[in-house]
Amino acid sequence: MMYCKYCGKEVESDAMVCVHCGRSLKECEDSIEDSGHFGWGVLGFFVPLAGLILYILWRTEKPKNSTAAGRGALISACFIVGLFILSILVVVIIFASAATSQGVFSKLIYSLPSNFGHLKLA
Ligand SMILES: [Zn+2]
């Protein structure tokens, strides 16, 4: 036996609905609390799409969880965009240095041994 969380009367432990007040018992047991737990943010960060879906689904029902999931997804999105821009920059720099025979990086790398060589000769 367990007690109904709404009216406090005894109900069957496997009852879906309270026989006294008629409110659903099962639904509330299964539902996730709106705690705004950071775990939802972590989920949103690693799975931005899931975070976005949860954000939309929970906007009215669970605003705290919704915000947490949405924030995680937003941070993730910023992170991905940042990485994307960074990788583009790296590719552009590599191509720019490869395109010219005297690239920035090759200039740096090849100038070092020759400098040492000059020191040895002197
Ligand atoms: Zn009840």
Compute the distance from residue 26 Cα to the ligand 1 centre, in Å. Answer: 12
Domain ranges of the chain: 1-31, 32-121
Distance CA 41, CA 63 (A): 13
* Distance (Å) from CA 34 to ligand 1 centroid: 22
Residue in the structure block whose two tokens are 């020759």: 114
* CA–centroid distance, residue 27 to ligand 1 (Å): 13
Note if the pTM is more than 0.85: no
The answer to whether residues 54 and 69 touch, using CB atoms and an 8 Å cutoff, is: yes
d(CA 81, CA 76): 9
2 Cα to the center of ligand 1, angstroms? 11
For residue 105, how far is its CA from the centre of ligand 1 (angstroms)?
74
User: What does the pLDDT profile of the chain (122 residues) look like in tens digits?
Assistant: 788 888 999 998 888 888 999 888 875 545 678 889 989 999 999 999 999 999 999 999 899 999 999 999 999 999 999 999 999 999 999 888 777 755 556 566 666 665 555 555 54
Q: How far apart are CA 34 and CA 29, in angstroms?
A: 13
